[in-house]
């Protein structure tokens, strides 16, 4: 008789991840409020959405919505538990009387309810930051919107607003930096289109070097292909010195900066600079846009890593997230300069202002005059 194959279990209990610590804090707080309802006034600001489980949120919503019985009735009859069950059951079928008694059993020290509530608020802050970081990463990687940079920056603004709000709720403490080990740098996307646009920028800027002073917002680090950034640095160095700019002078500068190697020969550089097209401003904006989205992607992943590390306190998480967004802000400022519709015109020189002090006339330099207005 052939041996039947052994059917594997649909799931393994050992593979179920353990509940995080906040799960037990929620149980302890709810149990304390079921035992001693008057402690609801002592736990500080807390709402159902702060809870990690919908079941716990429903129980807490019922506790907040209902009026508890008098202490005398509460000590003799389970009126409070019956009211909670009746209020929450229609929207939460999983809630049973047995689970309410489980919550009560978890409340070994009801007077610690305020501390349990603080733990719940802290974990909710971590989850909220993680969600917004994921949205930032998604926006940075999604090419479908008409202007991906605008969507990504809007996500970054929303995250920054959240951090400001949380920063006012959690007090600072020594050791502000996150404990999360630094993650490796995110590699840049160097596909064919990216490399082609960077090459067109270098060729067009070489053919029309008068465009270089109009792009102070572009830096060598914005290029996805490192050698393209190095060649752009050669271009800007020549323009800064007022030296002639063409393919040969750029090649000569590349030699002095140590860019030429066996993998990148002089002929390679000349061919790379030989195909100008359109305007350097257009290609420069394309390069900077990709750099901005890369910065948003990097910041989002870093904040997400901080939020997923449960060893970080809320203050450490907020501090690390703000630093990550600050690096994105540096690129953002240059992006706004590049895409501004108002041309950057140098300020007009002002004649020295005068001010009277008693009978003396004091001459004020232009910078000082502006500062005193």
Average pLDDT over residues 27-44: 96
The SS3 call for residue 85 is helix
pLDDT at 339: 92
- Split at pLDDT 50, 70, 90, the class of 354 is very low
> Domain boundary at 108, 135, 150, which?
108
Together in a domain, 224 and 273: yes
In a domain, 99, yes or no: yes
Range of the domain at 221: 192-285
Instruction: For residue 56, give the nearest of 96, 27, 24, 78 by alpha carbon.
Output: 27
pLDDT of 109-119, one tens digit each? 999 999 999 99
Percent of the chain past pLDDT 90, that is, above it, reads 77
**315-346: pLDDT as tens digits:** 999 999 999 999 999 999 999 999 986 444 44
Residues 211 and 78 in one domain: no
* pTM reported for the whole predicted model: 0.82
Question: Are 96 and 127 contained in the same domain?
Answer: no
pLDDT of residue 183: 82
pLDDT of residue 185: 83
Residues 274 and 312 in one domain: no
Which residues make beta-bridge pairs with 356?
361
Contact criterion met (CB below 8 Å) for 224 and 290: yes
> What is the rounded CA–CA span in Å between residue 106 and residue 24?
8
DSSP for 43-58? S-S--GGGSSSHHHHH
**268 and 137 co-located in one domain:** no
Domain count, the chain: 3
Better-scored residue on pLDDT, 54 or 13: 54
Residue 363 has pLDDT above 80, yes or no: no
Same domain for 253 and 237, yes or no, is: yes
Same domain, yes or no: 167 and 298: yes
The secondary structure of 86-143 as a DSSP string is: HHHTTT-TT--HHHHHHHHHH-S-GGGHHHHHHHHHHHHHHHHHHHHHHHHHHHHH--
CB atoms within 10 A of CB 169: 13
78 with 37, same domain: the answer is: yes
Q: Residues 191-220: what's their mean pLDDT?
A: 95
Q: Do both 70 and 215 map to the same domain?
A: no
Residue 229's domain is classified under what CATH number?
A: 1.10.860.10
Q: What is the pLDDT of residues 84-98, one digit of tens each?
A: 999 999 999 999 999
Question: Which range has the worst mean pLDDT, 12-21, 172-181, 199-208, 237-246?
Answer: 12-21
Q: Which of 187-191, 307-311, 349-353 has the lowest mean pLDDT?
A: 349-353
The verdict on residue 27 lying in a domain is yes
The SS3 assignment for 71 reads helix
State yes or no: pLDDT of 296 exceeds 50: yes
> How many Å apart are CA 311 and CA 187, to the nearest integer?
27
Are 270 and 128 contained in the same domain? Answer: no
Computed over every residue of the chain, the mean pLDDT equals 88
Let me know if residue 3 belongs to a domain.
no
Residue 256 has pLDDT above 50, yes or no: yes
Instruction: Assign residue 58 the CATH number of its domain.
Output: 1.10.860
Spatial contact of 231 and 201, defined as CB atoms under 8 Å apart: no
Within a domain: residue 198? yes
Task: Let me know if residue 149 belongs to a domain.
Answer: yes
As a whole number of angstroms, the distance between CA 256 and CA 62 comes to 74
Note whether 167 and 295 are same-domain residues: yes
| Residue 14 falls inside a structural domain | no
Residue 292: is its pLDDT beyond 70?
A: yes
Asked, for residue 181, whether it belongs to a domain, the answer is no
Per-residue pLDDT tens digits for 120-141: 999 999 999 999 999 999 999 9
Q: Are 365 and 352 in contact (CB under 8 A)?
A: yes
pLDDT for position 366: 38
User: 33 with 59, same domain?
Assistant: yes
Per-residue pLDDT averaged across 228-237, rounded? Answer: 97
In a domain, 366, yes or no: no
Q: Tell me the mean pLDDT in the region 27-53.
A: 96
């Amino acid at each position: 008789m052939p041996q039947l194959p052994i059917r594997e279990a649909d799931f393994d209990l050992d593979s179920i991840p353990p509940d995080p610590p906040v799960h037990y804090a929620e149980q302890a707080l709810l149990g304390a409020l079921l035992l001693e309802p008057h402690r609801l006034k002592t736990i500080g600001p807390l709402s159902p959405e702060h809870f990690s489980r919908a079941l716990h949120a429903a129980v807490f919503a019922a506790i907040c919505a209902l009026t508890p019985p008098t202490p005398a009735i509460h000590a003799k009859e389970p009126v409070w538990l019956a009211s909670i069950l009746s209020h929450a059951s229609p929207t939460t079928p999983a809630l049973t009387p047995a689970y309410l008694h489980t919550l009560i059993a978890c409340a070994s020290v009801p007077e610690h309810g305020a501390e349990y509530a603080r733990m719940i608020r802290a974990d909710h802050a971590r989850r909220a930051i993680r969600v917004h970081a994921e949205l930032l990463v998604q926006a940075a990687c999604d090419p479908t919107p008409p202007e991906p940079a605008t969507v990504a920056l809007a996500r970054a603004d929303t995250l920054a607003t959240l951090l400001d709000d949380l920063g006012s709720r959690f007090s600072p403490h020594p050791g502000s930096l996150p404990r999360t080990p630094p993650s490796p740098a995110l590699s840049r996307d160097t596909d064919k289109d990216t490399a082609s646009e960077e090459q067109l920028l270098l060729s067009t800027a070489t053919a029309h070097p008068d465009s270089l002073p109009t792009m102070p917002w572009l830096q060598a680090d914005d290029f996805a292909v490192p050698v393209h950034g190095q060649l752009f640095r050669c271009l800007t160095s020549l323009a800064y010195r007022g030296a002639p700019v063409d393919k040969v002078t750029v090649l000569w500068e590349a030699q002095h900066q140590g860019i030429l190697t066996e993998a990148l020969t002089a002929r390679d550089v000349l061919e790379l600079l030989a195909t100008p097209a359109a305007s350097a401003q257009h290609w420069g904006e394309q390069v900077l846009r990709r750099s901005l989205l890369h910065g948003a992607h990097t910041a989002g992943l870093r904040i997400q890593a901080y939020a997923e590390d449960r060893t970080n306190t809320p203050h450490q998480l907020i501090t690390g997230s703000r630093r990550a967004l600050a690096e994105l802000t540096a690129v953002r400022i240059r992006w706004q300069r590049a895409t501004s519709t108002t041309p950057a015109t140098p300020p007009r020189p002002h004649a020295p202002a005068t001010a009277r002090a008693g009978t003396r006339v004091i001459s004020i330099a232009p910078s000082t005059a502006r500062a005193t207005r």
